[in-house]
Amino acid sequence: MKVVVTGGAGYIGSHTIIDIVESTNWEIVSIDSYINSTPDTYRRIKEVTGKEIEHYKVDLCDKNALKNVFNEIGAIAGVIHFAALKAVGDSVENPLLYYQNNITGLLNILECCANYNIPNLIFSSSCSIYGNVDVLPVDETTPLAKSESPYAATKAIGEEILKDFSKVSNTNLIALRYFNPVGAHSSGLIGENPINKPSNLFPVITQTAVGIIEEMQVFGADYKTRDGSCIRDYIHVSDIANAHILALKYAVEQGKLENLEFYNLGSGNGVSVLEAISTFEDLSNIKLNYKLSARRPGDVESIYSNSKKAKSQLDWETKFALTDMMSSAWNWQQQLEKEKNEQS
């Protein structure tokens, strides 16, 4: 079957394409504007899998260009829709860009689903839609609090759009709510390679270890947590990738889903910032240069997932532990350094 992956040159999209190539016989077509990636990702995917990926450079907000691609591709069994802007801080500074890109992109893809009779769509949602929660862990019945950023709002609104569309559409719609995807493919040949400066903890840790960042900050050491730093649910990107295959298989098997289905994808383990740092220090034998700093605006104190629904309905199991996440992220950082040195 033919599957369209939007945002296939990005971090999670590329790992999902690799898993699809390695574990299914599906044909992939990637659509990306390269607003936060480069087509070099396809070279890396080929290095890992040996497979050339069919790809188009299209901005999903350009409806006509998108239609042209769908006209060319022919019958499609499913769309996995990753393409979106994702930096929380950036979204606070550029709210219109985020609403425009993420909402218009989604609307145009849904219009294609309707016009081209596409039976299944998987949407990248986010734990950020839960906002500040009172009860942990969060599951799919936890009420959504106010979105803390325009980025989070694009995901919450995205799910609302999907809910309404599911009532009138022939397309099965599934939203996967990722917690904190981290790490890199076990080959060490591909990982997160954003154009923009990273603000997420794992790349900040590995960039500090190689000296790109001189001194990293731990944002807040006075939270009411076991060591004062924030707690998150880190989840290996390859575990996230695999959930898309299972979700698409589930949607195909179910025939027609009545409503939007949504699933948390987290490990269920809450890990503090200081625990993440010491896990890295232990496995790399590198002392990180960090200081305890003020809280980062917009951060929630603690969040971690109950992902039992994905386990029971999709048969999704996490395969990777925190040490795998950290060591694969570290391998990838070292690979990037090696490539940089070879080029200079």
The residue (of 230 and 247) whose beta carbon lies closer to ligand WQD is 230
Instruction: Decide: is 88 part of the binding site for ligand WQD (CB under 6 A).
Output: yes
Instruction: Decide: is 100 part of the binding site for ligand WQD (CB under 6 A).
Output: no
Among the listed residues 142, 114, 227, 236, the one whose alpha carbon sits nearest the alpha carbon of residue 181: 236
**9 DSSP assignment:** T
- Residues of span 6-25 touching ligand NAD by CB under 6 A: 7, 9-13
Beta bridge partners of 126: 178
The residue (of 273 and 314) whose beta carbon lies closer to ligand WQD is 273
- 3 state SS of 3: strand
- Please give the backbone phi and psi of residue 132, each rounded to the nearest 5 degrees, phi first: -85, 115
Give the pair of three-digit tokens for residue 222: 């006075």
- Residues of span 111-140 touching ligand WQD by CB under 6 A: 126-128
Instruction: Decide: is 60 part of the binding site for ligand WQD (CB under 6 A).
Output: no
Q: Which residue has the tokens 């979106």?
A: 84
Instruction: Decide: is 296 part of the binding site for ligand WQD (CB under 6 A).
Output: yes
- 3 state SS of 219: strand
Instruction: Decide: is 147 part of the binding site for ligand WQD (CB under 6 A).
Output: no
**Annotation says 56 is catalytic:** no
C-alpha angle 251-305-81 in degrees, rounded to nearest 5: 40
**Alpha-carbon gap, residue 233 to 316, rounded angstroms:** 16
Instruction: Decide: is 204 part of the binding site for ligand WQD (CB under 6 A).
Output: yes
Do strands 231-232 and 271-272 pair parallel, antiparallel, or not at all (unpaired)?
antiparallel
The residue (of 41 and 272) whose beta carbon lies closer to ligand WQD is 272
Task: Give the torsion sign (CA, 264, 238, 280, 289).
Answer: negative
The residue (of 66 and 274) whose beta carbon lies closer to ligand NAD is 66
Instruction: Decide: is 153 part of the binding site for ligand WQD (CB under 6 A).
Output: no
User: In 225-293, which residue ranges form alpha helices assigned H by DSSP?
Assistant: 237-254, 273-284
> Of ligand NAD, ligand WQD, none, which one sits near residue 60, judging by CB under 5 to 8 A according to partner kind?
ligand NAD
Beta bridge partners of 175: 123, 262
- Residues of span 111-150 touching ligand NAD by CB under 6 A: 124, 126
> Of ligand WQD, ligand NAD, none, which one sits near residue 36, judging by CB under 5 to 8 A according to partner kind?
ligand NAD
- 3 state SS of 251: helix
The residue (of 29 and 221) whose beta carbon lies closer to ligand NAD is 29
Instruction: Decide: is 326 part of the binding site for ligand WQD (CB under 6 A).
Output: no
**11, 151, 234, 263: the active-site residue:** 151
Q: For ligand WQD, how many residues bind (rule: CB under 6 A)?
A: 19
- Residues of span 173-192 touching ligand NAD by CB under 6 A: 178, 180-181
The residue (of 84 and 251) whose beta carbon lies closer to ligand NAD is 84
Give the pair of three-digit tokens for residue 301: 């104190």
298: phi > 0 → left, psi -120 to 50 → alpha, else beta; which?
left
Looking at the annotation, which residues are catalytic?
151
Binding site for ligand NAD (CB under 6 A): 7, 9-13, 32-37, 59-61, 82-86, 101, 105, 124, 126, 178, 180-181, 194
